[in-house]
Amino acid sequence: MAASRIVIENCSIATVDAGDTEYTSGHIVVADNKIESVGAGKAPENLENVVRRIDGTGHLATPGLVNTHHHFYQWITRGLATDHNLFNWLVALYPTWARIDEQMAYSAAQGSLAMMARGGVTTAMDHHYVFPKGSGDLSGAIIRAAREMGVRFTLARGSMDRSEKDGGLPPDFAVETLEGALAATEATVDEHHDASFDAMTQIAVAPCSPFSVSTELMKQGAELARRKGVRLHTHGSETVEEEQFCKELFGMGPTEYFESTGWLGEDVWMAHCVHMNDSDIAAFARTKTGVAHCPSSNARLAAGIARVPDMLAAGVPVGLGVDGTASNESGELHTELRNALLINRLGAHREAALNARQALRLGTYGGAQVLGRASQIGSLEPGKLADIVLWKLDTLAHASIADPVTALVFGAAAPVTLSLVNGKPVVEDSRLLHVDEDAIARSTRDEAQRLARIAAQA
């Protein structure tokens, strides 16, 4: 059967390929779920089986945004503990989070995914690590929400087995056993992970953090991931308190601890990595360990400024993350392009820290690298999957900025005229096509109120 083609033309294009190729006015041809061609000027007139031809005048086409760190369930606890650092924030919210159930997880995932997809995210991820007893199939609910939204998705199946009685932060009733966590993680991989080129759902092994997970779970989790051929994810070096915790408990800093447990490597990515010294960065670069940079969350929790320019200079793969919406209430990734640039300019490198194109690369190709999918997504190149966003830049908010990439990154959040995932439209004219946004808003409000009532009664 002949391929069905979608043609986008007359738009600016930032391919984010190895040479940062850009076209002032160009075209993209999509054949089924892959990019067939990208180039200057109009697309050829003699293409067969063109089912749709889109005039992109006034728009910028980029690869779809790739989110590399999130906690979907936190959508229904936004706006709480707004003046806390990380450890105090966790202590304040863990008792509430530990009472989520399957319907809450599904509704929160819908809210998180909707906000990201509407803003140009085509590949999402969720690090879910709270599995209360009797709460239902939380992983299945989250995956179902992503499938219904139409986005590409990685579920990082998290776990915690170090509770308050073991010197950790989560309450005792909020954690799993070592054996239970490993068995449930393996079952999730077996049931849901798709290793194919155009996979829509993948699974990673993701014990939560050094201060909520035993050393044995870290070690056996890494062994499980490598036996199953999936990636590894956790939080790392987020705060000075975490560094102190690791030194007191393990006699070494976070990076040394991760290396001792098998948690450095090109199949690993860490969230945050704010407090990294030169030797830490060198270790990540040597092992090709990835980083999910979450600038808004880092600022919200006063964690600090990650050394992203130094990481990039050393060759560390770096992507962008929303992080949970209880520490980044907007829930958007496209605004993180701007925030990453601005916050990093407050650091040692000042105005030379990041530029607009580096920020765009973090949110696209960098994210694809971190998720292990750089051969499939993250840039607009023939043969790659057709995950494409068309940003409208000819309105009041952007029209007077001559350079479209600068307009996208430095300017206000740009409307999404079209978002394709796997060659299929997911967003048109800033509206989601497969779900009812108003129904999701009502559901998330109701589930947030229900969770608050349950937590208050506990």
Average pLDDT over residues 255-283: 97
* pTM (predicted TM-score): 0.97
pLDDT at residue 57 greater than cutoff 90: yes
DSSP 26-42: EEEEEETTEEEEEEESS
What phi and psi, each to the nearest 5 degrees, are found at residue 447? -70, -35
DSSP 48-100: SSEEEEEE-TTEEEEEPEEB----GGGGGGTTSSTT--HHHHHHHHHHHHTT-
Give the model's pLDDT for residue 128.
98
Average pLDDT over residues 267-290: 98
Mean pLDDT, all residues of the chain: 96
Give the model's pLDDT for residue 389.
98
pLDDT band at residue 2 under the 50/70/90 scheme: confident
Average pLDDT over residues 115-144: 97
Burial of 361: CB neighbours in 10 Å, binned 0-12, 13-18, 19+: buried
What phi and psi, each to the nearest 5 degrees, are found at residue 31? -115, 110
CB 185 within 8 A of CB 218: no
Give the model's pLDDT for residue 282.
98
Give the model's pLDDT for residue 87.
86
H helices of 69-207, where?
A: 86-97, 102-118, 138-149, 178-192
Amino acid occupying residue 260: S
- Summarised one tens digit per residue, pLDDT across range 319-331 is 999 999 999 999 9
SS3 219: helix
The C-alpha atoms of residue 388 and residue 35 are separated, in whole angstroms, by 9
Give the model's pLDDT for residue 172.
81
CB 363 within 8 A of CB 65: yes
Helix (H) or strand (E) holding 25: strand 22-31
Give the model's pLDDT for residue 165.
87
What percent of the chain shows pLDDT beyond 70?
A: 100
CB 447 within 8 A of CB 104: yes
Q: What angle do CA 159, 69, 432 make, to 5 degrees?
A: 115
Q: CA nearest 447: which of 70, 133, 72, 193?
A: 72
Give the model's pLDDT for residue 208.
96
* Strand ranges, E, within 342-423: 388-392, 416-421
- Summarised one tens digit per residue, pLDDT across range 149-188 is 999 999 999 999 998 888 777 878 789 999 999 999 999 9
Q: In what order do the strands lie in the sheet with 231-236?
A: 65-66, 121-128, 152-159, 201-207, 231-236, 268-272, 290-293, 318-320
Give the model's pLDDT for residue 169.
76
pLDDT band at residue 114 under the 50/70/90 scheme: very high
Q: CA nearest 323: which of 313, 331, 312?
A: 331
The C-alpha atoms of residue 310 and residue 312 are separated, in whole angstroms, by 5
Burial 308-343 (b: 16+ CB within 10 A, else e): bbbbbeeebbbbbbbbbbbbbbbbbbbbbbbbbbbb
List the domains of the chain with CATH numbers: 5-63+383-432 (2.30.40.10), 65-370 (3.20.20.140)
Give the model's pLDDT for residue 167.
79
Give the model's pLDDT for residue 192.
98
pLDDT at residue 25 greater than cutoff 90: yes
Identify the weakest region by mean pLDDT among 43-52, 84-93, 427-436, 439-448: 84-93
pLDDT band at residue 445 under the 50/70/90 scheme: very high
- Summarised one tens digit per residue, pLDDT across range 364-407 is 999 999 999 999 999 999 999 999 999 999 999 999 999 999 99
Give the model's pLDDT for residue 22.
98
- Summarised one tens digit per residue, pLDDT across range 198-248 is 999 999 999 999 889 999 999 999 999 999 999 999 999 998 888 888 999
pLDDT band at residue 1 under the 50/70/90 scheme: confident
Give the model's pLDDT for residue 174.
80
Give the model's pLDDT for residue 91.
85
Give the model's pLDDT for residue 442.
98
Amino acid occupying residue 13: I
Amino acid occupying residue 96: T
CB 231 within 8 A of CB 266: no
Helix (H) or strand (E) holding 135: none
